[in-house]
Amino acid sequence: MKALILVGGFGTRLRPLTLSLPKPLVDFCNKPTVMHQIEALVEVGVTHVILGVGYRADVMETELKKHEERLGITITLSYEEEPLGTAGPLALAKEMLVDEGNEKFFVLNADVICSYPFKSMLDFHEKHGGEGTICVTKVEEPSRYGVVVYNENGKIDRFVEKPQTFVSNKINAGIYLFNKDILERIELKPTSIEKKIFPEMSKEGELYAMELQGYWMDVGQPKDFIVGSNLYLANAAQHTPGILSKHPCVFGNVLVHETATIGKDCQIGPDVVIGPGVVVEDGVCIQNSTIMSSSRIGSHTWISNSIVGWRCRIGKWVRLEGVSVLGEDVAIKDELYVNGGRILPHKEIGSSVPTPTIIM
C-alpha cells in the first residue's frame, strides 16, 4: 500500500521552530512529527510514503533518507512549485500513487497527531465499499468548525460550515482512505478537497465517516502543540506506560530521553517532554512544556506552558511561561522573566519579556 502525507507550506503558525526545520521534522514527543505517522503506516503494511512538500524539500529528503532504510520502505517527495490546496497534491502525485495492484491509499494532514486507527479504517472501508473513508472526531464546540453529518452506517449526507444550531459535533480529522478512482475527480490545479471534492462524493453516496476513538489534535501551532503533547502522554500512560519516566523527580506523565540528565531536588511534571542530551540542573521546576534536544536549563529555573527549542541555554532563576516558544540556540541570562515570548533562533535575551512579544 501507499500513503500521501500533505506537508504543505512554510509552517508559519509554528514559528520560530520552523525557521530551523520544516514543520514535519520538528520534534513532537522526542520524534519528528511526521515519523509518528510514517511508523504507524508501516505497521499496517504501507511500503511507499509520498510527502507533498512545498518548502525546504532538500532538508526533508536528507533527513527522511535515514529513516527509509531503517523502516525498509520507500519515501518519495512530490514537490509543489505553487500551492495546490488539499486536493491538488493528489493529482500531482497521481503517477506515484497508482500502479498495478495498488487499489487504495491513505492521505494524511501532516499536522495531525492521534492514535492512527489505520487497521480499523481498512476494515471499515472494505465493509462499506464506497470510494472514500474520512476519520471524524468529536468536538465540544461544533459552531467553531465545519461539521460532518452522516447516518448510522457512516454514509455522509452533507457538510455544514460553522452551524449555529446543532446538526453534528463531528469534524473532519484530516485522515483519509481512498480508492484510486478519486484521482479521476481531481485536476492538477489549486483545489480544496474539503470544499469541492468531498461534497461531490457525498452527493453520490461514495463518502463514509469513521469516528476516531481516543485523542486527536492538530499540532500546527504552539498552544495546540502543547495540548497535543499532553494528550500523547496521557495516551501513553494508558497504553504504553513503559515509555514514561520513573525518575524520582518526576510527577505525572513525563517523557525523558535516556541521554538527558536531571539534577537534584527538581520537580518535573506533569506533562513534560525532555529531549536527547538535555541537562536540567538542580532545583528546576518544569510543567506542561517541551524541552528539545541539547538544551541546558539553569538551576532553580521555573518553566510552564512553553516550548524550548534545540540547543538553548536558560540561565539560573529564570521564569518562562505563557506559551513562550524559544527557537534554536537561544540564550536567556540569569534571573529573567519571559511571558509569551516568541524568540527567534540565535538570540541572547538580556532583559525580561513581561508581555507576549516576538523578539527578532
pLDDT, one tens digit per residue, over 106-134 is 999 888 999 899 999 999 999 998 899 99
- Do the Cβ atoms of 57 and 79 come closer than 8 Å? yes
Mean pLDDT of the chain: 89
pLDDT band at residue 11, thresholds of 50, 70 and 90?
low
* The three grid cell numbers given for residue 177, joined into one nine-digit string: 482512505
Q: What is the DSSP letter of 212?
A: P
Number of C-beta neighbours around residue 195 at 10 A: 14
Q: Among positive and negative, which fits the CA dihedral 143, 145, 151, 152?
A: negative
- Do the Cβ atoms of 253 and 271 come closer than 8 Å? yes
Provide the pLDDT for residue 37.
94
Q: Quick check: 71 pLDDT over 80?
A: yes
Q: Quick check: 307 pLDDT over 90?
A: yes
Number of C-beta neighbours around residue 59 at 10 A: 14
Lay out the sheet containing 302-304: strands in order across.
Answer: 267-268, 285-287, 302-304, 319-321, 337-339
What average pLDDT does this structure show over 4-25? 82
Percent pLDDT > 70 in the chain is: 96
Catalytic residue positions, numbered: 162
Query: How does strand 279-280 pair with strand 358-359?
Result: unpaired
More confident call, 194 vs 341: 341
- pLDDT tens for 135-182 read 999 888 767 677 888 898 989 988 887 767 777 888 888 899 999 989
pLDDT band at residue 328, thresholds of 50, 70 and 90?
very high
Q: Please give the Cα distance from 46 to 73 (Å, whole number).
A: 8
Q: Quick check: 10 pLDDT over 70?
A: no
Quick one: angle between helices 33-43 and 118-128, nearest 10? 50
Which residue is it, cell 455522509? Answer: 156
Task: Select from 322, 263, 315, 326 the least CA-distant residue to 291.
Answer: 326
More confident call, 267 vs 84: 267
Q: Please give the Cα distance from 324 to 293 (Å, whole number).
A: 17
Q: What is the pTM of this model?
A: 0.89
Q: Find how far residue 137's CA is from the centre of its chain.
A: 16
